[in-house]
Amino acid sequence: MLRSCLLAMIIFTQHLLAQPFGINSKLEVGLGYIPQRQNSMGILRLTIALNDLETKNNDFGLGIYCTPEYRSENLFNPEQPYYFRMPIGITKKFNNFLGVFAGMDFIYWIKSDFQFRRSEFGATFLLNNSLNLRLGFSKYVGPSVGLGYQVKLVKTPKKKD
């Protein structure tokens, strides 16, 4: 299950990278952590985001993200030997410093027959041109923190024959 989700995420990211993004679009890769309330190790997170997506004529500061979370022990459901969730959502940048994000794990929601939702929301702070601090919260797992590195996606001009 974990391998197939990661493979789907890689294929999805490659498909998105092949699209004609605007000159300000950025790819973000980051690591995060969800501390636990009990005396045990928290949940590790990997964030892959495409920020500042723009159309031909407009830059709305919108983006998309995917954050797989994994832990080898599941404190929330002891019947399942591991914890894996993958919130997917949108990002919105307000200015050169502040943004927000909100997402939900649609895979687990559908798998649980629409009974359990793992959703999250939070704020992003651009520390410099490439480092992005993410502070989030989920009712299901509590607060989260992450640090991402952004790389600008530059259009390559087409060669004229």
Which pLDDT score is estimated for 117? 77
Distance, CA of 121 to CA of 45 (rounded, Å): 15
The reported pTM is: 0.74
From the CB of residue 16, how many other CB atoms can be counted at a distance below 10 Å?
A: 16
pLDDT digits (tens, 9 = 90+) for 114-146: 777 788 999 999 998 889 999 999 888 889 999
Which of 118, 153, 156 has the alpha carbon at shortest distance from 137? Answer: 118
Which pLDDT score is estimated for 5? 53
Which residues does the chain have with pLDDT short of 50? none
Q: Which residues pair with 120 in a beta bridge?
A: 103
Which pLDDT score is estimated for 7? 59
Burial class (CB in 10 A: 0-12, 13-18, 19+), 128: exposed
Q: Which residues pair with 91 in a beta bridge?
A: 63, 101
Which pLDDT score is estimated for 115? 72
Which of 5, 70, 2 has the alpha carbon at shortest distance from 33? Answer: 70
Q: What domains does the chain contain, in order, with CATH numbers?
A: 2-152 (2.40.160)
From the CB of residue 93, how many other CB atoms can be counted at a distance below 10 Å?
A: 22
Residue type for position 31? L
- For tokens 């299901």, name the residue: 140
Start-to-end Cα distance in the chain: 46
